[in-house]
Amino acid sequence: MSEELLYAGKAKSIYSSDKADELIVVFRDDITAFDGGRKDVIPGKGEYNAKVSARLYALLEEHGVPTHLLALEGPVRMRVRRLTMLPLEVIVRNIAAGSLVRNYPFVEGSPLDPPLIVIDFKDDSRHDPMLNDEIILALGLVTQQELEELKQLARRVNEVLRDLLAGLGIQLVDFKIEFGRDVDGRIRLGDEISMDSMRLWDSRTGASLDKDVYRFEKGDVLSTYGQVAARILGGE
């Protein structure tokens, strides 16, 4: 079976592969913000995000979190298990920032203990509205048991990533993950975890080390992503 483009999203393209239950994710250099309202191309960005995602997914697998990762096949290509994605954006927050401080009276930078889990409906046409447990169950998106599993996995992902990044001098402020069901119906982490989907602050200076550099024009996006990738990938 040859590779066929199945879906082109805002930052990644998904291709079929030689195996029916495996896909190829290509991390592109496109970057968008504000619901696609701003778009640019940053040559080299896709490679940093692919490598960081692969490294973090391998680490999560070592810590018992099932992911879609099979292998990185070149600088921007990741072979993954085909998942039926859940239309959910699971956001974990350790420190108040972003939409949480825009929409609620949280003070930016204040710690959230225990971390907050917020789940949005992944539907661009509706601008990804926030869900609650009752709405998720009423829509039949997952079962009660799967919902508990998603939250438990999200907490575990947070612990693993927060510890890793803290050791590299980076505060994990918040991040977004997506899950899907594999061919056996098992919930696995899909999509990506990268500088596009995490909010990261330098522990010493407080400087943004993520897509906020692009959103709010805080500096050189590629060099920021490169610095984070170098810290995470170390001597790889």
Site residues, ligand TYD (CB under 6 A): 89, 91, 98-100, 120, 128, 174-176, 197-199
Cα distance between residue 93 and residue 134, in whole Å: 21
Binders of ligand ATP among residues 24 to 83 (CB under 6 A) are 68, 80-83
24 forms beta bridges with 15, 79
Among ligand TYD, ligand ATP, none, partner that 91 touches (CB below 5 to 8 angstroms by kind): ligand TYD
Nearer to ligand TYD, 17 or 94 (CB): 94
Instruction: Retrieve residue 108's tokens.
Output: 């930016």
- The one segment of 3-11, 53-61, 109-117, 133-141 that binds ligand ATP by CB under 6 A: 3-11
Backbone angles phi, psi at 145, to 5 degrees: -65, -40
Instruction: Calculate the alpha carbon distances from 236 to 59, 193, 231 in Å.
Output: 13, 18, 10
DSSP per-residue codes, 26-52: EE-SEEEETTTTEEEE-TTHHHHHHHH
CB 35 within 8 A of CB 124: yes
Among ligand TYD, ligand ATP, none, partner that 199 touches (CB below 5 to 8 angstroms by kind): ligand TYD
Decide if residue 11 touches ligand ATP (CB under 6 A).
yes
Cα distance between residue 47 and residue 44, in whole Å: 6
Among ligand ATP, ligand TYD, none, partner that 23 touches (CB below 5 to 8 angstroms by kind): ligand ATP
Binders of ligand ATP among residues 128 to 167 (CB under 6 A) are none
Q: Interface mask (CB under 6 A) for ligand ATP, residues 163-192, using x and -? A: ---------------x-x---------xx-
CB 161 within 8 A of CB 172: yes
CB 15 within 8 A of CB 195: no
Where on the chain is the footprint of ligand ATP (CB under 6 A)?
Answer: 7, 9-12, 14, 23, 68, 80-83, 85, 178, 180, 190-191
